[in-house]
């Protein structure tokens, strides 16, 4: 891939990456009857790790956590751990509007073999900042696992204010943030004053956040394009900033289709996985399947990205392995 010569000045040092750089917010595969597909989850997890994912985030919103049982969440962790071993970290979503329930999920995740926790801002009740801070501290004190805080006010109704994050950064087990706040100024303020690892949860910010010192991404689109997204980070780390920018732009049509029109990313991602013959299964109510026209558009965007980004990584017998563009 042709790009401008690398700048002689060093790139900004990324923030600490406790779970690596390229994280996938994995869907939860179901069988045709809507039950947890343990074998499918294992196969999907192996595919994602083979194609460059450093960690898998299970039972987040993309994993349909609102409609999976606590027992299913634990079984999913065990199935993925058995499949990938120690080749990738497992971060378990333990989001709940009930602090006691989040604590229970955290203990269960630790026992099932998770390496870390993703803790969501309490939703619906919209507590004030001091109560949000206490919620996170209480859950973080429940286990010995490192914790990522999930800041997504569009879904929870309340953001984690930068001042709250600055205070929480002093907790020994709170190590990072999944950032979906769409507040780059606030993000930079926290990055400049803490050691928190910032992972974008918004694919359009993969390169922008990484370029100012972010740790990487936690991506829904990585379910279908893991190597293509990782190539953005690899190119930037190699000093190929022009190549990284091009790869970011090449991914945008697929990102837009996966996330457009208010349709949850889970719906579109499962539809595309299914069309590609990969483990996915149906979504659970109240979500509804994507229509055939959307699936056709998703397939076309995926195929275009796979072809156009191919020079950025090599095809190998065990799956595509990401490598810097221009290498």
Residue 198 annotated among the catalytic residues of the structure: no
Q: Which two tokens stand for residue 241?
A: 């900033």
- Residue 23 and residue 55: Cα distance in Å, rounded? 5
Q: Where does the chain have alpha helices with state H?
A: 38-50, 70-84, 99-112, 129-140, 153-156, 162-168, 184-193, 206-211, 226-237, 241-259, 265-275, 292-308
* Contact criterion met (CB below 8 Å) for 262 and 245: no
- Residue 235 and residue 256: Cα distance in Å, rounded? 22
DSSP 171-223: STTEEEEEE-S--HHHHHHHHHH--PEEEESSGGGHHHHHHTT--EEEESGGG
- Residue 108 and residue 238: Cα distance in Å, rounded? 40
Angle formed at CA 180 by CA 178 and CA 184, multiple of 5 degrees: 100
Residue 123 annotated among the catalytic residues of the structure: no
Catalytic residue among 73, 123, 124, 178: 178
* Contact criterion met (CB below 8 Å) for 92 and 86: no
Q: Which two tokens stand for residue 252?
A: 């945008």
- Residue 75 and residue 93: Cα distance in Å, rounded? 13
Catalytic residue among 123, 124, 150, 198: 150
Between 99-112 and 129-140, two packed helices, what is the crossing angle to 10 degrees? 30
62 Ramachandran zone, left/alpha/beta (phi>0; psi -120 to 50): alpha
Catalytic residue numbers read 150, 178
């Amino acid at each position: 891939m042709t790009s401008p010569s690398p700048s002689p000045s060093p790139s900004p040092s990324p923030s600490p990456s406790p779970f690596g750089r390229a994280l996938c917010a994995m869907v939860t595969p179901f069988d045709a009857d809507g039950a947890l597909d343990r074998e499918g989850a294992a196969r999907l997890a192996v595919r994602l790790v083979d194609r460059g994912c450093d960690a898998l985030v299970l039972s987040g919103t993309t994993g349909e956590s609102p409609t999976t049982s606590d027992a299913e969440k634990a079984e999913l962790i065990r199935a993925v751990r058995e499949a990938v071993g120690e080749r990738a970290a497992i971060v378990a979503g333990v989001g709940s509007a009930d602090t006691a329930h989040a604590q229970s999920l955290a203990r269960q995740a630790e026992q099932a073999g998770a390496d870390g926790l993703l803790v969501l801002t309490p939703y619906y009740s919209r507590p004030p900042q001091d109560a949000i801070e206490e919620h996170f501290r209480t859950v973080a004190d429940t286990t010995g696992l490192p914790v990522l805080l999930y800041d997504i006010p569009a879904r929870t109704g309340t953001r984690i204010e930068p001042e709250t994050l600055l205070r929480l950064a002093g907790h020994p087990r709170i190590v990072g943030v999944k950032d979906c706040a769409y507040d780059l100024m606030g993000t930079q303020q926290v990055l400049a004053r803490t050691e928190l690892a910032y992972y974008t949860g918004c694919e359009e910010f993969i390169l922008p956040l990484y370029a100012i010192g972010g740790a990487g991404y936690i991506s829904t689109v990585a379910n279908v394009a893991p190597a293509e997204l990782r190539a953005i980070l690899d190119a930037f780390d190699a000093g190929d900033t022009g190549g990284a920018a091009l790869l970011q732009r090449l991914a945008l049509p697929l990102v837009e289709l996966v996330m457009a029109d208010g349709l949850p990313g889970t719906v579109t991602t499962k539809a595309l996985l299914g069309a590609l013959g990969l483990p996915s299964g149906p979504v659970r109510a109240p979500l509804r399947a994507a229509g055939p026209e959307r699936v056709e558009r998703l397939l076309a965007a995926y195929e275009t990205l796979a072809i156009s980004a191919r020079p950025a990584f090599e095809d190998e017998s065990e799956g595509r392995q990401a490598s810097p563009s221009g290498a």
